[in-house]
Structure 1
Amino acid sequence: MTKDQIFDRITYLIREQLHKPDLVITQTTSLHDDLGVDSIALMEFVISMEDEFNLEIPDEDVEDLECMGDMLNYLVGRLN
């Protein structure tokens, strides 16, 4: 899976979770500031990504993920 494919997939997941299919998301989009994701929504998103990519994301790793680019780079590192 390419980096662009991974990004497309995670942006799809967050749009679905937030029920905002037209939401514009870039790699600099902040999970908290721009998307308004609270800790519960973040954990739901992480669970969706774990299911989608068939991996386990430790809680301590989630703490370092502030924007969609962080999430993308983390997943690229874990999947490749």
Structure 2
Amino acid sequence: MFDTRFEAILRSVAELPEDLVITGEQNLRSELGVDSLKLMDLIVNLEGEYSIELSDDVSADVRTVEELWLEISQEAD
């Protein structure tokens, strides 16, 4: 579903354990503990890694791992 770069950045910024299985359905905030500051850090890191610029609405609109990945993959195309 998502690539290893995306997963590595998410895992690092959210401080997730290596043995945690990340799925698209997981809620970034309630299940993975990504608060608003971590979300902004996550977006900045992803924009840099993929050489893209996401809209300001992304931080308010995305709820799940899959939604965030879709935003990244659409911009990276």
Normalising by structure 2, report the TM-score.
0.85
Deviations 1:1-54 (A, max 9, x none): xxx4x4322111111221522221001011001101110010010111011001
Give unmatched runs, 5+ long, in structure 1.
none
Q: Which consecutive segments of 4 or more residues in structure 1 shift more than 3 A?
A: none
Match of 2:30 in 1: 33
Structure 2 CA distance for partners of 1:42 and 1:57, relative to 1, 3 Å: same
Match of 1:16 in 2: 12
Count of residues paired in the alignment? 76
1:64 to 61, 64, 67: 61
Higher RCO (CA 8 Å, separation ≥ 6 residues): 1
Normalising by structure 1, report the TM-score.
0.82
Q: Which has a greater percent of helix?
A: 1
Match of 1:51 in 2: 48
| In 2, Cα distance between equivalents of 1:36 and 1:51 | 22
Q: CA RMSD in A?
A: 1.5
Identity of aligned residues (%): 26
Give unmatched runs, 5+ long, in structure 2.
none
| In 1, Cα distance between equivalents of 2:52 and 2:74 | 12
